Amino acid sequence: MPPVRHLDCDPRSGAGLGPLAILARQDRAGPSSSGCQPDDIRVPGMPELARLRRVGHKGADLIAPGNTFLSFDAALEAGVDMIEFDVLISRDGRDLLLAHDYRDAASRTPPTLEEGLGHLNKEAFAGVEIDVDLKLPGYELRVLEALRSFGMLDRALISSQYRASLAILREAAPDVRLGWSVPRLRRDPFRSRALLLPALLAVWIARMLLPLQAGVAIRRRDCDALMAHWRLVTPRLVRAVRRAGGELYVWTVDDIPRLRRLERLGVTGVITNDPRLFAASA
């Protein structure tokens, strides 16, 4: 394993802790902790950064139920640059739905992809990009065709956790923007006490490996952007993505201190359930 970075800080704040203990402490402390950061938290010598891109998760899921027109409208009112929404194929394979999973789809009558694109193609949303997140593989070309039929490919970023889906999209539409979403999880392991230590170890390993993996994927044009959970974001990852010429969007950030920290690191954009935070953090 790579050597653990030493902490440039007061011994009482955590110097000498192993990597899993550091991660556990950071997770318990939360983003508002005043404890020190690892040496490479600073990103010296970076050029002046562009304004942080404001992305609404499922529209604005903490203001109105996500993946709905009301949520999209709330995100627009909050001044987002991009609206992220989920696309899931119905169990019978007939429709593409705006839903996160089948439990979500069964709890309501979700809009179809075509209905959602029709709403987002209104004049009011003309300056807003969209992040179309594919929840499963197998319907990539149908999504591509829907975006093309609405004339929305040029303002779309299509993201997926599945590299094979990205490869299908790249071959079919070489110029479409693609986002690789990491990690691939069905549920949050940090909510389970039994899974906490394995999850901390997995995060530490991912932080070591992901900068190289992301840089290679972007240079090979497997993707144009990395959509990373905030636990995986490090200054090394920011540098690797930027040097490869890609974008880094971080999900899902619902508090101002973490949002500000990520902005200082130089990420491209932050994805939040409550896009009102962007105005509050200004």
pLDDT (0 to 100) of residue 196: 79
Residue 35 has pLDDT above 50, yes or no: no
Are the CB atoms for 88 and 101 separated by under 8 Å? Answer: yes
For residue 254, what are the CA distances in angstroms to 6, 61, 181, 274, 280? 29, 11, 18, 6, 12
Distance CA(36)–CA(45), nearest Å, equals: 21
Cα–Cα distance for residue pair 57/274, rounded to 1 Å = 8
The answer to whether residue 1 scores a pLDDT higher than 50 is: no
Interior CA angle at 231 toward 254 and 74, to 5°? 25
Region 102-114: mean pLDDT is 98
d(CA 177, CA 169) in angstroms, rounded, equals 9
Closest CA to 160 of 225, 112, 209: 225
Question: 48: which DSSP letter?
Answer: P
Query: CA 130 to CA 21: how far, in whole Å?
Result: 38
Mean pLDDT of the chain, nearest integer: 86
Q: Is 108 exposed, middle or buried (0-12, 13-18, 19+ CB in 10 A)?
A: exposed
**Residue where the block lists tokens 């969209």:** 130
Flag the least confident range among 175-184, 188-197, 229-238.
188-197
Range 242-269 average pLDDT: 98
Mean pLDDT over 32-46 rounds to 40
Q: What's the pLDDT at 11?
A: 32
Instruction: Compute the distance between CA of residue 175 and CA of residue 236 in angstroms, rounded to an integer.
Output: 27
What local confidence, expressed as pLDDT, does residue 5 receive? 32
CA distance 52 to 75: 16
Name the band, by pLDDT with cuts 50, 70 and 90, for residue 29: very low
Residue 192 has pLDDT above 80, yes or no: no
Q: List the single range of 24-33, 50-59, 184-193, 268-277 with lowest mean pLDDT.
A: 24-33
Answer yes or no: is pLDDT of 110 > 60.
Answer: yes
- Label residue 175 by pLDDT band (50, 70, 90): very high
The strand pairing partners of 228, in sequence order, are 182, 250
pLDDT for 32 equals: 40
40 compared with 92, residue with greater pLDDT:
92
Question: Which of 28-42, 46-60, 63-77 has the largest mean confidence?
Answer: 63-77
Q: What's the rounded mean pLDDT across residues 71-88?
A: 98
